[in-house]
């Protein structure tokens, strides 16, 4: 009984939480945190159950309120979407555990609003993943964006300005997406993704169809901060509160990337688009440029949060490279990186949050010799940094590994070379930071003293994430073989069946 | 074909020192307990490795099949003879180095000793992992782990020189690791199964000659950095900023030997002699190695800092091994494998001596060491034995490996390389013997009476010196080094030595 | 295909394109944040018009069942785009609301909404 309604049930605890948090928080502010925790725990359980059910009995197509598609809204849950929902739930759970002590210190008095808005954002993101309806996706898109602006606006003094800029660009993106949906609707008369997908093969030469694909790429590209549409990201991430960044950075851009993959490969049919316009090559080249530019910008930063923000631009660009290449292994790499980068970035941003809490700053100077003051936190940070550089056997190595294999499938040498050697640029800023963290400051630098580990609730999530990074690396094949590979579009895997799987 | 036998011992041998790391870190405030864990792990590891000797000698390969880590490629540990030889050297010398390290860091009052011992254990685990890797991907994983584990050891002193050395080390080894990623990915995408096979698993049908040459070049860049092949060697003398036991084990045994071990793996077990002849790159590799071993010896003569002189000498001797691998003949391969082992015992003796001198006297330059042989007779006697061995004097084990190498060059009809070997032997004598002469036959009255370093340091260096002589007289004694080397050479080149 | 044939009968679409461009220009080129917001609203309005124009049929009536007209689908306008756009309008109002809230905070903190002045004050903050 419960299993049949899982797709909608996953969202219910979040809804309840978003309403209950302000309700109980009004009388007693300290109750906001346990309420949010409880609602996320329920979501996590349901998301886990959903993945198990989907793995056992296949894709769930759920009709909301019993309306038949294409008239009603359909929730479409296959292995991939169930998996992404689980990732979101895990990350969100860890961040909320962490947020209990962090938010109180960093943005005092705002706990109720923070938890409530965060839960609404999670509704939006989960909805984007679960829905099988194009317009419904737009609504969830805006739900997540609007709550994202609100979360980002609360933090440093400059946060509202960054949030406003993001709002303008984000709205352009959402509007582009809506426009794209409009074209599709005009052409097909349907808003159901599966329906549109079944009609798409006859449309691939139609200019309106191509325009709508480009609009989708621009719209989702803006939200996922694909180079050169990343301009909103560095400021927004830097000035938002650390906890908000720690939840937005890992999931928001990744969910958008995931939706872009869904759209291009499951709705539009990338291989057909590619015969008419070189969309894939364009995305690949944007990705490659983004990897290089993002990393170089990261090297130049003096603030840890800003450095990580630019590194996000580079990491999202890797996903872009995989999407553009479109070979099965490259897509595996892109999807794996969605998961991997979410875990790594969450870990890194949580640590910067802890540093901010303990030292009052996230400038790189405040990391001097901090490794001995906060040994456990920085154990997690080190693992995450190594995963970012792509040192095996962390998970970061394996997503790049699949991208490289995907590049070799197509003899795309530029991709292979950039993906393999871009780790050097990443290494340049992370090893520099690690040396700062673990060694005595050199002349003219001040050592950070007299601070210790933050409360256990802020250390445990970091360590759990670090452990995840190693486990996801060592057992990546389980994820790839059981979840990603079976969910890839059949047309794609057939075309490349001789060369890999 | 060797017989396979499933066993967890290779895995245990790797993991035992990883398990020691948390124990070392936790007992950081109690040095004696901490050092106990290091020694326990070292003995356990050496014991596990030695326990596999009967299998290896009988042609049985223990393997641990782990899980599939990427489609079609497993994480696999397999102990073939070559891997075993390397693991044996690294694990046995780790025991000695552990004792020596304790004496050294306490004698020199190094800071952050916990980090030091933890990183050391991690580095040794990675080294054994490299030795036991059954395929290229597993090799890559441990190879990168070794890069990482060594970084904290190089930067250990945290001086400007150490920082510079550590950055230089990364600047060389990270790109190298990435070359290896590329090569591995290329192999996986071309052949799928990348298990090491004696004689190689690639063949000329997989790509154009130009493409194969590029892949080989990248593969050599990948392992050549750690192997100190010129012009990729310059991190090695810089890394001498690290504490001496690090230089001893890592920069004479583990890291650089992992590099030449990689050269042997790639030439013998990935590309294979036939393909290397087909694409005509073996002479190029031989020339690079030949030039390296000559130039490095010349540079060594000019160094006054003892550790730097030893570093350049290491660069030269590593290229002996590479040269032997490039010759692709049975005797040359035998010589390479033997030199992999024998150079380790000799060079570690020399580094131990340099460290002992530093701890007692804080002297690093040869020009300050007049008459030191009278104060530290055992240490300098061991130094003399190591020097004689590296110069190739009969009676010490260096002669055996060099002899085989020389025969190997003749088997390949490349007499020119034999001449280079001989010239380099003379140069070796030219840069080592003056040290011995200065130490024993010159007087310095201002030199205070220091005496020997602590037994924790002198005993290990004595043992390695004696082992060098024993193996020089009877190379097959104990672990049957010569037999193992011959077996490897026969499997790879397809001919008897 | 000559230009005239392309445009004839597509005037409403052309109009929405013009609106889109006006809106985009406002968002990207105006230096005042309120004007940017107005541009954003125009942009969203253009897209809403795009949907509604598509749903429009000459001579058709509102999509509420009428006994006199019977079940002739072509006598009713397509209700779906209208329904969708009601939602889109709600979203756009919500966005405007959030944006205005942000502008109020910015104005309180920095006393200006002109981009040039604001940037200067932001720099002083560092």
Task: Map residue A269 onto helix, strand or coil.
Answer: coil
Query: Minimal Cα distance from B176: which residue of A?
Result: A421
* B464-491 average pLDDT score: 83
Chains touching B, CB cut-off 8 Å, 3+ pairs? A
User: Which residue among B160, B178, B185 places its CB closest to the CB of A405?
Assistant: B185
Domain that holds residue C29: 3-125
User: Model confidence over B423-461: pLDDT tens digits?
Assistant: 888 888 888 888 888 888 877 666 666 777 778 888 888
* C96-104 average pLDDT score: 93
Confirm or reject contact between A416 and chain B (CB < 8 A). yes
pLDDT at A448: 62
Task: Output the domain CATH number for residue C22.
Answer: 1.10.287.3510
User: Model confidence over A288-303: pLDDT tens digits?
Assistant: 999 999 999 999 999 9
Reported as a pLDDT band with limits 50, 70 and 90, residue B497 is very low
- C43 vs A161: CB contact, 8 Å cut-off? no
Helix (DSSP H) and strand (DSSP E) numbers for chain A:
22, 2
CA B425, B430, B431, B432 torsion: positive or negative? positive
CA A88, A89, A94, A100 torsion: positive or negative? positive
How many Cβ atoms from other residues are within 10 Å of residue B288's Cβ? 20
Q: Which residues of A touch C27 (CB under 8 A)?
A: 168, 172
- A474 vs B69: CB contact, 8 Å cut-off? yes
Q: Which of residues 146-175 of B touch A (CB under 8 A)?
A: 147-148, 151-152, 155, 158, 160, 163, 166-167, 170, 174-175
pLDDT at C6: 67
* A453-474 average pLDDT score: 91
**Model confidence at A500: pLDDT above 50:** no
Q: What is the mean pLDDT of chain B?
A: 85
**Model confidence at A249: pLDDT above 60:** yes
**Model confidence at B1: pLDDT above 60:** no
Lowest mean per-residue pLDDT among A110-119, A276-285, C52-61: C52-61
State yes or no: chains B and A have 3 or more CB pairs below 8 A.
yes
Q: Which of residues 88-147 of A touch C (CB under 8 A)?
A: 135, 138-139, 142, 146
Query: Minimal Cα distance from B75: which residue of A?
Result: A474
Helical axes B330-361 vs B377-391, angle rounded to 10°: 160
User: Model confidence over B83-138: pLDDT tens digits?
Assistant: 888 998 888 888 888 888 888 877 777 777 788 888 888 888 899 999 999 889 99
CB A132 within 8 A of CB A193: yes
* A182-192 average pLDDT score: 88
Among A416-420, B442-446, C3-7, top mean pLDDT goes to A416-420
Cα gap C17→C46, rounded to integer Å: 7
**Which helix (H) or strand (E) is A77 found in, with range?**
strand A74-77
Query: Minimal Cα distance from B192: which residue of A?
Result: A500
Q: What is the mean pLDDT of chain C?
A: 85
Cα gap B166→B115, rounded to integer Å: 16
For residue C69, give how far its alpha carbon lies from the nearest alpha carbon of chain A (Å): 23
pLDDT at C21: 92
**Model confidence at A1: pLDDT above 70:** no
As for how many domains chain C has, the answer is 1
Please name which of B143, B138, B152 lies closest in space to residue B21, comparing C-alpha atoms: B152
Confirm or reject contact between B205 and chain A (CB < 8 A). no
pLDDT at B481: 81
pLDDT at A495: 57
User: Model confidence over A23-39: pLDDT tens digits?
Assistant: 888 888 888 888 999 99
- B141 vs A500: CB contact, 8 Å cut-off? no
**Which helix (H) or strand (E) is A63 found in, with range?**
strand A60-63
Reported as a pLDDT band with limits 50, 70 and 90, residue B493 is confident
State percent of chain C over pLDDT 70. 93
Cα gap B91→B44, rounded to integer Å: 9
Q: What is the mean pLDDT of chain A?
A: 87
Q: Which residues of A touch B160 (CB under 8 A)?
A: 442
User: Model confidence over B198-255: pLDDT tens digits?
Assistant: 888 888 888 888 889 999 999 999 998 888 888 888 888 888 877 887 777 777 778 8
Query: Minimal Cα distance from A403: which residue of B?
Result: B185
User: In terms of pLDDT, which residue wins out, B364 or A40?
Assistant: A40
pLDDT at A449: 63
For residue A43, give how far its alpha carbon lies from the nearest alpha carbon of chain B (Å): 30
Query: Minimal Cα distance from A171: which residue of C?
Result: C40
3-state SS, chain B, equals CCEEEECCHHHHHHHHHHHHHHHHHHCCCCHHHHHHHHHHHHHHHHHHHHHCHHHHHCCEEEEEEEEEEECCEEEEEECCHHHHHHHHHHHHHHHHHHHHHHHHHHHCCCCCHHHHHHHHHHHHHHHHHHHHECEHHHHHHHHHHHHHHHHHHHCCCCCHHHHHHHHHHHHHHHHHHHHHHHHHHHHHHHHCCCECCCCCCCCHHHCCHHHHHHHHHHHHHHHHHHCCCCCCCCHHHHHHHCCHHHHHHHHHHHHHHHHHHHHHHHHHHHHHHHHHHHCCCHHHHHHHHHHHHHHHHHHHHHCCEHHHHHHHHHHHHHHHHHHHHHHCCHHHHHHHHHHHHHHHHHHHHHHHHHHHHHHHHCCCEHHHCCCHHHHCHHHHHHHHHHHHHHHCCCCCHHHHHHHHHHHHHHHCCCHHHHHHHHHHHHHHHHHHHHHHHHHHHCCCCCCCCCCCCCHHHHHHHHHHHHHHHHHHHCCCCCCCHHHHHHHHHHHHHCCCC
């Amino acid at each position: 009984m419960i299993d049949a309604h899982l797709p909608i049930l996953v969202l219910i605890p979040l809804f309840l939480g978003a309403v209950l948090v302000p309700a109980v928080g009004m009388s007693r502010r300290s109750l906001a945190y346990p309420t949010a925790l409880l609602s996320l725990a329920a979501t996590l359980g349901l998301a886990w159950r959903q993945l198990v059910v989907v793995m056992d009995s296949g894709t769930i197509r759920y009709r909301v309120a019993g309306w038949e598609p294409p008239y009603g809204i359909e929730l479409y849950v296959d292995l991939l979407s169930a998996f992404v929902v689980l990732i979101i739930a895990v990350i969100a759970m860890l961040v909320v555990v962490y947020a209990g002590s962090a938010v109180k210190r960093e943005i005092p008095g705002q706990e109720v609003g923070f938890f409530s808005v965060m839960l609404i954002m999670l509704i939006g993101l989960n909805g984007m993943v679960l829905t099988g309806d194009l317009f419904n996706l737009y609504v969830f898109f805006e739900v997540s964006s609007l709550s994202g602006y609100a979360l980002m606006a609360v933090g440093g003094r400059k946060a509202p300005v960054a949030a406003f800029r993001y709002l303008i660009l984000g709205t352009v993106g959402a509007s582009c997406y809506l426009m794209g949906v409009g074209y599709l609707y005009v052409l097909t008369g349907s808003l159901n993704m599966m329906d549109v997908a079944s009609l798409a093969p006859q449309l691939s030469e139609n200019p309106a169809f191509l325009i709508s694909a480009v609009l989708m790429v621009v719209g989702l590209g803006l939200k996922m901060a694909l180079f050169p549409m990343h301009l909103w990201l560095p400021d927004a991430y830097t000035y938002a509160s650390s906890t908000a960044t720690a939840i937005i950075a890992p999931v928001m851009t990744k969910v958008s990337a995931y939706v872009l993959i869904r759209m291009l490969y499951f709705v539009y049919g990338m291989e057909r688009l590619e015969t008419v316009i070189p969309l894939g090559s364009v995305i690949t080249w944007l990705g490659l440029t983004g990897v290089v530019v993002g990393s170089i910008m990261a090297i130049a930063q003096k603030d840890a949060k800003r450095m990580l923000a630019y590194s996000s631009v580079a990491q999202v660009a890797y996903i872009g490279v995989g999407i553009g290449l479109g070979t099965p292994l490259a897509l595996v790499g892109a999807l794996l990186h969605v998961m991997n980068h979410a875990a790594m970035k969450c870990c890194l941003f949580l640590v910067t949050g802890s540093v901010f809490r303990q030292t009052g700053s996230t400038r790189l100077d405040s990391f001097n010799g901090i490794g001995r003051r906060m040994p456990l936190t920085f154990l997690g940070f080190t693992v995450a940094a190594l995963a970012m550089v792509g040192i095996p056997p962390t998970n970061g190595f394996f997503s790049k590994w699949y991208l490289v294999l995907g590049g070799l499938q197509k003899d795309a040498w530029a991709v292979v070379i950039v993906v393999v050697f871009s780790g050097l640029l990443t290494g340049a800023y992370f090893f520099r930071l690690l040396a700062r963290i673990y060694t005595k400051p050199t002349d003219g630098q001040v050592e950070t003293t007299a601070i210790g580990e933050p409360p256990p609730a802020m250390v445990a999530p970091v360590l759990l994430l670090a452990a995840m990074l190693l486990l996801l690396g060592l057992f990546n094949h389980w994820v790839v073989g059981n979840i990603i590979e079976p969910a890839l579009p059949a047309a794609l895997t057939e075309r490349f069946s001789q060369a890999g799987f | 074909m060797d017989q396979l036998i499933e066993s967890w011992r290779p895995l245990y041998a790797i993991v035992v020192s990883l398990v020691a790391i948390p124990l070392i870190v936790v007992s950081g405030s109690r040095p004696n307990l901490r050092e106990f864990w290091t020694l326990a792990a070292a003995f356990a590891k050496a014991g596990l490795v030695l326990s596999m000797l009967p299998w290896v000698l009988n042609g049985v390969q223990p393997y641990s099949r782990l899980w599939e880590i990427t489609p079609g490629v497993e994480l696999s540990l397999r102990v073939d003879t070559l891997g075993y030889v390397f693991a044996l050297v690294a694990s046995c010398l780790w025991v000695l180095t552990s004792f020596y390290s304790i004496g050294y860091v306490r004698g020199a009052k190094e800071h952050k000793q916990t980090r030091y011992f933890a990183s050391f254990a991690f580095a040794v685990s990675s080294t054994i992992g490299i030795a036991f890797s059954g395929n290229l991907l597993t090799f890559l994983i441990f190879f990168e782990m070794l890069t990482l584990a060594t970084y904290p050891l190089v930067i250990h002193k945290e001086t400007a020189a150490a920082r510079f050395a550590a950055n230089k080390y990364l600047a060389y080894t990270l790109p190298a690791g990435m070359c290896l990623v590329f090569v591995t990915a290329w192999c996986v995408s071309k052949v799928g199964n990348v298990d090491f096979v004696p004689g190689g698993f690639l063949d000329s049908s997989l790509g154009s000659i130009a493409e194969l040459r590029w892949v080989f070049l990248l593969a050599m860049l990948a392992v050549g950095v750690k192997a100190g092949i010129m012009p990729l060697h310059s991190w090695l003398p810089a890394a001498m900023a690290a504490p001496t036991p690090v230089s001893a084990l890592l920069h004479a045994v583990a890291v650089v030997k992992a590099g030449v071990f990689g050269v042997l793996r790639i030439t013998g077990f990935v590309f294979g002699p036939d393909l290397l002849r087909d694409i005509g790159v073996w002479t190029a590799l031989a020339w690079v190695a030949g030039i390296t071993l000559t130039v490095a010896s010349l540079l060594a003569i000019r160094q006054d800092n003892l550790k730097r002189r030893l570093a350049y000498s290491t660069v030269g001797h590593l290229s002996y091994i590479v040269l032997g691998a490039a010759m692709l003949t049975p005797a040359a391969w035998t010589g390479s494998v033997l030199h992999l082992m024998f150079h380790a015992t000799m060079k570690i003796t020399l580094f131990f001596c340099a460290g002992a001198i530093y701890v007692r006297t804080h002297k690093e330059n040869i020009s300050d060491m007049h008459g030191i042989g009278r104060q530290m007779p055992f240490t300098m006697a061991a130094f003399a034995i190591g020097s004689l061995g590296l110069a190739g004097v009969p009676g010490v084990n260096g002669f055996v490996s060099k002899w085989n190498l020389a025969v190997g060059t003749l088997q390949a009809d490349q007499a020119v390389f034999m001449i280079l070997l001989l010239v380099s032997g003379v140069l070796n004598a030219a840069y080592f013997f003056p040290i011995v002469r200065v130490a024993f036959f010159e007087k310095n009255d201002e030199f205070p009476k220091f005496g020997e370093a602590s037994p924790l340091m002198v005993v290990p260096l004595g043992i390695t010196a004696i082992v060098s002589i024993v193996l020089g007289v009877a190379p097959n004694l104990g672990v049957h080094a010569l037999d193992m080397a011959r077996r490897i050479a026969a499997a790879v080149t397809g001919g008897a030595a | 295909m000559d230009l005239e044939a392309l445009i004839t009968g597509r005037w409403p679409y052309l109009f929405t394109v013009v609106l889109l461009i006006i809106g985009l220009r406002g968002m990207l080129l105006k230096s005042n944040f309120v004007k940017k917001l107005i541009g954003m609203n125009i942009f969203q309005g253009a897209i809403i018009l795009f949907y509604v124009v598509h749903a429009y049929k000459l001579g058709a009536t509102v999509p509420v069942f009428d006994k006199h007209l019977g079940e002739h689908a072509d006598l009713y306008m397509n209700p779906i785009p209208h329904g969708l756009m009601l939602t889109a309008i709600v979203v756009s109002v919500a966005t405007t609301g959030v944006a205005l809230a942000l502008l109020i905070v910015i104005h309180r903190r920095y006393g200006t909404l002109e981009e040039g002045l604001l940037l200067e004050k932001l720099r002083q903050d560092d």
